[in-house]
Each structure stands twice: as C-alpha cells, then as structure tokens.
C-alpha cells in the first residue's frame, strides 16, 4: 500500500523564522519517487522537488531544503527565513515505480507566515 | 512558455445540467490527469490517459467521463452534476516514467466548479 502522512495540518510562523514541514511515507516499492508541491491561494499546484528513492542526498535550493531519510521513511521540507510569500498549502506526494504515474498525496500542511 | 491551460477558471452550472471542463497543454506530455480537489483536502485522482489509453480510478463515479481527442487536449464531462461535485478540478500532465523517473506532474490553474 502507498500512503503519505503529513501530520501537521496547519502551521503559523512569524516572518524570518525557519519552519519544517514533515512528511512520512509508506510504500512496498523498492523504487519510488517523492515530491513536494506548493499550492498558493490561487489554486495551482507548483512543483518544487522530486527525489528518487535511490538518491538519499539532501538538497538545498535557495531558502528551501529537503531532508530525505529512508531509515525513517521521511522526506521533510525546511524553509529558512520564511517570507509572507511562502504562505500556502504544501503537499507531499509519493509515486511508486510499479504504480506508474499514480500520485499519492498527503493531506497537506497549511503554512501561514505572519509579517 | 510551455504550460497547462484550463478553461474556464470558474464554472457555474445547475444541478443536473451537464458541464464540460477543458484542459490543454503545450508540454507535449503523453500522460494527462484529472483530479478533484475539495476544500482543505488533497487532490483526488479521477482518471488519467496514458497516450490514448484511458485509466479510470475504481472509485470514480460513472457521472464523470473524459475524452482526449489528441495529445494536447483533454476534457472532463460531468453528466449530471450534483451538489457534492462542487470542487476545484485540476488537470495535470507528465511524461511517462522511465528508468530515472522524470514523472513529476505539472498542474494547470484549475477550474472551480459551483453547482447551484
């Protein structure tokens, strides 16, 4: 079974604070892909990152960083020095190699950055 | 810019009146998806096309149909909308997965459907 859990429903932080969004996944596939998407109030889901299961390197892109740990089945997302424009709903998603293009989304974390 | 386009952005229909939502893409991706997203929920996959092959999710109601006349266009038809069908409908595209994956999905802006 494929499942993604985002335990944090809503988070509020003050601008310039760091914030980490948690994502825990379950899969029986040995090859799989993890994703993060941002959904601002406008509604469009914006692709942020894809990570392959065979690549556990963490990644940093500007103020965004991702920590992938297979040992704990987690793929956490950290925003450093948060800004108001980071306010959005963030979805973590899983796709298994054997399930083709099917995405399994978490329930999302709503982030509010307070100026 | 290559993109996924959805029209209209807002659609109002009456209970039971058929409605069609459209999606087009300039990415030349061979896979296209339709998702339903209700307020404060994750997107729920309704069906997808892998080239011309239609793949319906087991729990997608028969009320929802889809057409893909060519690579660029895909339509979502709701034959008899009910109040419970009011939602955001998202179209997405991707390349087919290969050995390295490369199967991230690219989403359109969505069509918000209101049923009166």
Q: How far is CA B18 from the centre of its chain?
A: 16
Counting residues of chain A whose pLDDT is more than 90, the rounded percentage is 70
SS3 B83: helix
Asked if A95's CB is within 8 angstroms of B103's CB, the reply is yes
Residues 61-90 of B with CB under 8 A from A: 88, 90
- For residue A102, what pLDDT is reported? 78
- For residue A23, what pLDDT is reported? 98
Question: Which residue, among A64, A56, A67, A7, has the nearest Cα to A38 in the 3D structure?
Answer: A64
Residues of chain B contacting A103 with CB distance shorter than 8 Å: 43, 45, 105
Q: Pairing relation of β-strands B10-13 and B111-115?
A: parallel
- For residue B95, what pLDDT is reported? 84
Question: Which residue, among B81, B51, B84, B48, has the nearest Cα to B66 in the 3D structure?
Answer: B48
Least CB–CB distance from B90: residue in A42, A45, A108: A45
pLDDT tens digits, A53-84: 888 888 888 999 999 999 999 999 999 999 99
A50's CB contacts (< 8 A; 6+ apart) are: A33, A34, A35, B101, B103, B104
Q: Pairing relation of β-strands A10-14 and A109-114?
A: parallel
- For residue B102, what pLDDT is reported? 54
B27's CB contacts (< 8 A; 6+ apart) are: B2, B3, B4, B93, B106
Closest residue in B to A36 (Cα–Cα): B104
Q: How far is B113 from chain A (nearest CA, A)?
A: 13
For residue A17, say if its preceding peptide bond is cis, omega within 30 degrees of 0: no
Beta strands in chain B (DSSP E): 4-7, 10-13, 19-25, 31-37, 44-50, 53-56, 64-67, 73-78, 87-94, 106-107, 111-115
Q: What is the rounded distance in angstroms from the CA atom of residue A46 to the CA atom of residue A67?
A: 19
pLDDT tens digits, A90-104: 999 998 876 666 789
A36-55 mean pLDDT: 91
**Ordered per-residue pLDDT tens for chain B, 116 residues:** 669 999 899 999 999 999 999 999 999 998 999 999 998 899 999 999 988 999 888 889 999 999 999 999 999 999 999 999 999 999 999 887 665 555 788 999 999 999 99
Residues of chain B contacting A107 with CB distance shorter than 8 Å: 41-42
Specify whether the CB–CB gap between A48 and A64 falls below 8 A: yes
Least CB–CB distance from A101: residue in B97, B106, B112: B97
Least CB–CB distance from A102: residue in B41, B45, B108: B45
Q: How far is A97 from chain B (nearest CA, A)?
A: 8
Q: What is the rounded distance in angstroms from the CA atom of residue B50 to the CA atom of residue B61?
A: 20
Strand partners, A21: A77
């Amino acid at each position: 079974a494929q499942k993604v859990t985002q335990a944090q429903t809503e988070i509020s932080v003050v601008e310039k604070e760091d914030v980490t969004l948690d994502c825990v996944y379950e899969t029986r596939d040995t090859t799989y892909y993890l994703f993060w998407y941002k959904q601002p109030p406008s509604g469009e889901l914006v692709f942020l990152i894809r990570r392959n299961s065979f690549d556990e390197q963490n990644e940093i892109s500007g103020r965004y960083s991702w920590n992938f740990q297979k040992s704990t089945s987690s793929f956490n997302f950290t925003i450093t020095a948060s800004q108001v424009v980071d306010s959005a709903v963030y979805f973590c998603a899983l796709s298994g190699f054997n399930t083709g293009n099917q995405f399994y989304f978490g329930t999302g974390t709503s982030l509010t950055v307070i100026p | 810019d290559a993109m996924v386009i959805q029209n209209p952005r807002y659609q109002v229909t009456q209970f039971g009146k058929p409605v069609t939502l459209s999606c087009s893409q300039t990415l030349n991706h061979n896979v296209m998806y339709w998702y339903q997203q209700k307020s404060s929920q994750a997107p729920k996959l309704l069906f997808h096309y892998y080239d011309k092959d239609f793949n319906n999710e087991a729990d997608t109601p028969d009320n929802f149909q889809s057409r893909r006349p060519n690579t660029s266009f895909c339509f979502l038809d709701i034959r008899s909308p009910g109040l419970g069908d009011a939602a955001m409908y998202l179209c997405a595209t991707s390349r087919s997965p290969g050995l390295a994956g490369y199967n991230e999905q690219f989403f359109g802006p969505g069509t918000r459907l209101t049923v009166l």
